[in-house]
Amino acid sequence: MDEAAALTTTLITSNLGVLAALAGVAAFYFFLEEKSQWKLFQLFPPLLWIYATPVILNNLHVIPASSPVYDTLRSMALPVFIVLMLLNVDVAAAVRVMGRGVLVMLLGSLGIVVGAVVSYSIFGRFLDDGAWRAFGTLAGSWIGGTGNMAAAAEGLEATPEHLGLAILADNLVYVVWLPILLGCKAFADRFNRWARVDENRLDEMEEAALAEQSEQRPVVMRDYLYLGAIASMTAWAAAALAPMIPELPPVLSTSTWNLLLVTTFALLLSVTPVRKIPGSQNLAIALIYLFVAGMGARATLSGLGQAPAFVAAAFLWIFIHGAFILAGAYFLRVDVHSLAIASAANVGGAASAPVVAAYHRESLVPASILMALIGYALGNYLAILTGQLCRMVGGG
């Protein structure tokens, strides 16, 4: 069936209808999670369903596989949410509270990169030739968060199916990894003796956390106008400059340069008073879910047939990350609470790090968010690097 014929059999064809469908899917699952309180969402959070539902709607011809709405989300929403999610990065504050725990997190990020390359060298033969893009995409999530995963997928020119593999593996590994991060609290005393942790470390962290606490003013209408203007102008500047930089295929395309530029510009803004404007994180997350829904709408079910091999690779990968985290905690004499928060800040991002922190040491919840934001800052750069290293290992 040609494209014109496919469009005639699609239930929703108007741009506004497609946007309504994507927004409706995203809103529905968060509404269902809030109202039902089903434990299912603790195992498989809304992100997985927000991606999977448009895949089904597309393959059932309820929404089209191609639409200007999807192109707009890629060209406009993606750079805007990158800027918004990076505006609150505060490396100095995280270091003041967590101290060497930040270095453990950075070693965990290195473990994500190394783990990807090792896993790809073993399992790559069972995957398609472009699967290195899926590894880079998942690395974006495990170093930063969902926004980095979406950005990496675009920067590495991953297919919607590659993003689907990354989302599936991310959620399945999370089901196993989160209980490990929570459960290690039971071994805190033995672990801290093994890692030769200073007896005063926890008290010093709590004092530093109290010193960093400050109340943020409520969001008002003009904040959204400020954020919209800043994010759109930053995205526009990156898009204007990216074509002027020579491409280095297959490593650095114009879209990759655009991603790296908008990331760099946003991090530069994060050290200015712009960081104090409230509301940027929630706005960014809403756009991220819309973008993920749009990627799902372009995917085919047949492209997910590689899932078993990719998920197996992901489990090997996460345990390599865990080995790096353990080594970092031992050699830097860092407590098990900081170790768990560091790994959660990597693998779970800003959504999971506070959950782990609240279970271990509630006073460290704000610091855990700051650590996750450092992951946001690194995620786009290291995801691109990870994908390219995997490509080189595969001989691509």
Please indicate whether residue 199 or residue 393 has the higher confidence score (pLDDT). 393
pLDDT value for 6: 45
pTM: 0.88
The predicted model gives 96-108 an average pLDDT of 90
Reported confidence tier of residue 249, pLDDT bands at 50, 70, 90: confident
- Cβ atoms < 10 Å from Cβ of 357: 26
Question: Which of the four pLDDT bands, split at 50, 70 and 90, describes residue 323?
Answer: very high
Cβ neighbours of residue 344 closer than 8 Å, sequence gap 6 or more: 178, 181, 352, 353, 355, 356, 357, 368, 372
Phi-psi domain of 329 (left: phi exceeds 0; alpha: psi -120 through 50; beta: other): alpha
Mean pLDDT of 75-99: 88
Confidence of residue 328 (pLDDT cuts 50, 70, 90): very high
pLDDT at 89 over 50: yes
Confidence check: pLDDT of 303 > 70: no
Which of the pair, 5 or 282, is modelled with greater confidence? 282
Secondary structure of residue 252 in the 3-state scheme: strand
In the DSSP assignment, the letter for residue 299 is -
Nearest to 197 by CA among 290, 118, 101, 272: 101
Query: Taking the C-alpha atoms of 17, 137, 279 and 230 in order, what is their torsion angle to the nearest 10 degrees?
Result: -90
CA angle 383, 85, 272 (to 5 degrees): 110
Q: Which 3 state secondary structure label does DSSP give 248?
A: strand
Residue 19 is predicted with a pLDDT of: 96
Q: Which of 312, 344, 332, 328 is nearest to 184 (CA)?
A: 344
The C-alpha atoms of residue 391 and residue 189 are separated, in whole angstroms, by 43
User: Residue 395 — pLDDT band, cuts 50, 70, 90?
Assistant: low
pLDDT in tens, 18-56: 999 999 999 999 999 999 988 888 778 888 899 999 999
Cα 308 from Cα 272, distance rounded (Å): 45
Token look-up 């204007």 returns: 240
Q: Are 123 and 390 in contact (CB under 8 A)?
A: no
Average of per-residue pLDDT values in the chain:
89
pLDDT at 334: 92
Position 183, amino acid: G
pLDDT-based confidence at residue 2 (cuts at 50, 70, 90): very low
Q: Determine what percent of the chain is predicted with pLDDT higher than 70.
A: 96
Percent of the chain with pLDDT over 90: 61
| Across 150-157, average pLDDT | 91
Q: Which residues make beta-bridge pairs with 369?
A: none
Determine the distance from the C-alpha atom of residue 384 to the mean position of all C-alpha atoms in its chain, rounded to a whole number. 13
**Digit-coded pLDDT (tens) for 175-226:** 899 899 999 999 889 999 999 988 888 788 878 877 777 667 889 999 999 9
Q: Which residues pair with 248 in a beta bridge?
A: 252
What Cα–Cα distance (Å) separates residue 348 from each residue in 12, 170, 173, 264, 281?
35, 9, 10, 23, 16
- Answer whether 278's CB lies under 8 Å from 221's CB: no
How confident is the model over 113-129, as a mean pLDDT?
94
Radius of gyration of the chain (CA): 21
Higher model confidence: residue 395 or residue 384? 384
Contacts of 284-289 with CB under 8 Å at 24 or more apart are: 284/81, 284/82, 284/84, 284/85, 284/147, 285/81, 285/85, 285/146, 285/147, 286/26, 287/77, 287/80, 287/81, 287/84, 288/81, 288/85, 288/146, 288/147, 288/150, 289/26, 289/46, 289/47, 289/50
The average pLDDT across 316-335 equals 95
Contact 43, 2 (CB under 8 A): no
Q: Decide if pLDDT at 99 tops 90.
A: no
pLDDT of residue 5: 47
Distance (Å) of CA 103 to CA 110, 330, 351, 380:
10, 12, 21, 19
Q: Are 334 and 101 in contact (CB under 8 A)?
A: yes
pLDDT for the residue 114: 97
SS3 (DSSP) at 283? helix
Distance CA 19, CA 235 (A): 21
Residue 4 pLDDT class (50, 70, 90 cuts): very low
Identify the three-state secondary structure at position 213: coil
Q: Is the pLDDT of residue 373 over 60?
A: yes
